Amino acid sequence: MNNNKKVIEVTNLTRKFGKFTAVDSISFDVYEGEIFGFLGANGAGKTTAIKMLIGLLAPTSGKATVAGCDVYKQSEQIKKSIGYMSQKFSLYEDLTIAENISFYAGIYGLTDGQISEKTDLLLKKLNLENSRNELIKSLPLGWKQKLAFSVAIIHGPSIVFLDEPTGGVDPITRRQFWNLIYEAADNKKTIFVTTHYMDEAEYCDRVSIMVDGKIEALDSPTNLKSKYDSYTMNDVFIQLARKNQVQG
Amino acid sequence: MPVVEVRGLTKKYGKKTAISSLSFDVNEGEIFGFIGPDGAGKTTLFRILTTLLLPNEGKANVLGKDVVKDYKYLRKHLGYMPGRFSLYMDLTVEENLKFFASIFGATIEENYYLIKDIYSQIEPFKNRRAGNLSGGMKQKLALSCALIHKPLLLVLDEPTTGVDAVSRKEFWEMLKRLKEQGITIIVSTPYMDEAVLCDKIALIQNGSILDIDTPNDIVSKFKNKLFSIKTYNKYLAIKSLESYEYKNSVYPFGDSIHYSDKRDNTDNDVLIQFLQLCGINDCEVNVIDAGIEDVFMFLMKEKRHEQ
């Protein structure tokens, strides 16, 4: 991660809903090949912030560029330049593995030749060559997860957003998944991840913690733990999120 | 007499076996945790225990009653909080609570003392619709609704999934206070770090129980020497250890790597030297005690080898 190329640049980004300020002037940068953890309590404003970064919601004020694209003017371009994987994995249960791969590759505008090449490559990498015609719904959760991640980066984006990617899977599968993430980061992909598992925050190069719409802390897990005199990121998180916790 | 007595309980959906011959007891006043991932069979088991689903084989007694024959009695005396909180999103906080109290023929007033701790935190929002509550508040309301008829046994299916770390901590503090009031609690969770908050736990995977014991006794069964390795170059270290001929297991674990070796006499220096050969010069190696998650992975692997 010894890299100073910024792939996300955020300055005073703000979003209001009526009188309520969901995201309150946040600023941060994310670098190429970095695994960046974006944490916060339920209702802290994470989802609103991510929606702005991936071009789904216009900010009220402030500046942000993602993969070189401006979030106000180039929101369509952003969608093409990033990968996104959510908790629900968003694969089509009634389509086969190969069909899901071609479907997503097609949406991202790959040519037929590229699609068939990518499909073979991906099936081989995931050891799913013999299952290419199986329906997604017949797959174990862990496989779906790995496939969903691979599909999310099939168009070679420089950044991939992972929204609580590992919920509910067993501990071995979770770790296999993190190995995929490390591999992607090693290949200079930037990983922007949200999670409720605080031990996963420790897998990240740097994490930010949002409280009530603001970024209260941003640093490497090691530095945060020493700053807040804690053994775990869980303790850091609880200290920060409790500090000025507001119900609602 | 145990509050829950389960023997050889099996449930199949078509050809798929959701739970396979489970046997266990839950004693009065215990917090008993089922720890396992999605698809392990936790919800199926809880639905059988709460009389909402019929087993194919085996027997389950809850509060001394049979879950198949005595369902009417049991439904009155159990509190069940399903996963994803079954609240009425179009009703307000207070309407939800009143509704659940009235189905059980109870009133909020008579059992208010039981939920006071929890409900008072959301009472300022009692006129807000449940659909407009945050995750942590929904969770508190759902727990209040499951408690309002003063059940003898509380069954909580993944109450903390998707809820942030602060709310999770508060929730466990509430469970502890309920336990002090004599309520037996069965709870499931995919979060391994919550295991130590239970009196007894069952590790469950693919419909089978990997082990049942107190959290302390479970971790004491981990016999391998476990190393924690910290380095800035984690990915390279994992790859290198994966291909190390003596490795037994290599897992990323928070800010470090947990490693166990096939040899009995490995020490820190051996690993440091090996990693240096792989180009990693900054590593810090310590021998550590295993946690629940280490044991879970160890048992999962063992089970796979048996099959």
Any CB–CB contact under 8 A between B136 and chain A? Answer: yes
Residue pair B19/B43 in contact (Cβ under 8 Å)? The answer is no
Q: Is the pLDDT of residue A244 over 60?
A: no
Q: B165 touching A, CB under 8 A?
A: yes
Q: What is the CATH number of the domain that holds B268?
A: 3.30.70.100
Q: Which of B40, B135, B193 sits opposite A42 (nearest CB)?
A: B135
B115 residue type, one letter:
I
As for the ipTM of the complex, it is 0.82
Domain boundary among B214, B234, B265: B214
CATH code, A236: 3.40.50.300
B276 and B176 part of one domain: no
The parent domain of residue B239 ranges over 223-289
Residue B266 sits in the same domain as residue B209: no
Q: Are residues B235 and B209 in the same domain?
A: no
What is the least distance, in Å, from the CA of A222 to any CA of chain B? 8
Paired residues of B185 in beta bridges: B31, B154
Is the same domain home to B137 and B102? yes
Counted domains in chain A: 1
B109 with B244, same domain: the answer is no
- How far apart CA B23 and CA B7 sit, in angstroms, is 4
Q: In this structure, is residue B305 part of a structural domain?
A: no
B189 with B106, same domain: the answer is yes
Q: Per the CB < 8 Å rule, is A170 touching B235? A: no
Q: Over range A161-177, report the average pLDDT.
A: 85
With respect to residue A224, please indicate whether it lies within any of the assigned structural domains: yes
Q: Cα(A195)–Cα(A166) distance, rounded to whole angstroms?
A: 8
Q: What is the pLDDT of residues A194-234, one digit of tens each?
A: 887 787 888 899 999 999 999 999 999 999 999 999 988 98
Does residue A231 sit within a domain?
A: yes
Q: Is B14 on the interface with A (CB under 8 A)?
A: no
Question: Which residues of A have a CB under 8 Å from any CB of B?
Answer: 40-43, 140-141, 164, 167-173, 175, 178-179, 182-183, 185-186, 196-200, 202-203, 221-222, 232-234, 237-238, 241-242, 245, 247-248
Give domain status of residue B79, yes or no: yes
Q: How far is B23 from chain A (nearest CA, A)?
A: 22
List helix spans (H) across chain A.
Answer: 46-53, 75-81, 97-107, 112-125, 141-152, 171-186, 198-201, 221-227, 233-243
**Domain with A163 in it:** 34-57+81-94+135-243
Residue A72 included in any domain:
no
Task: Look at residue A194 and tell me if it is in a domain.
Answer: yes
Same domain for B156 and B30?
yes
List the CATH number of the domain containing B78: 3.40.50.300
Order of all β-strands in the sheet with B78-81: B78-81, B153-156, B184-189, B31-35, B200-205, B208-213
* Whether the predicted pLDDT of A43 surpasses 90: no
**Residue B302 included in any domain:** no
Section B114-119 average pLDDT = 91
* Structural domain contains residue A65: no
Of residues A115, A143, A116, the one with CA closest to residue A127 = A143
Residue B208: per-residue pLDDT: 96
Distance from B232 to chain A by nearest Cα, in Å? Answer: 9
Q: Test A237 with B162 for CB contact under 8 angstroms.
A: no
Give chain B's domain count.
2
Q: Domain check: are B57 and B109 in the same one? A: yes
Size of interface A-B (CB pairs under 8 A): 101
Q: Please determine, for residue A3, whether its predicted confidence score (pLDDT) is greater than 70.
A: no
One domain for residues B37 and B122: yes
Centroid of chain to Cα A158: 12
Q: Do A140 and B39 touch (CB under 8 A)?
A: yes
pLDDT tens-digit map of A71-82: 999 999 999 899
Is B304 inside a domain boundary? no
Same domain flag for B83 and B137: yes
Measure CB to CB from residue B163 to each of A42, A183, A199 and give the nearest one. Answer: A42
Chosen from B85, B127, B164, B196 to mutate, greatest number of chain A CBs within 10 A: B164
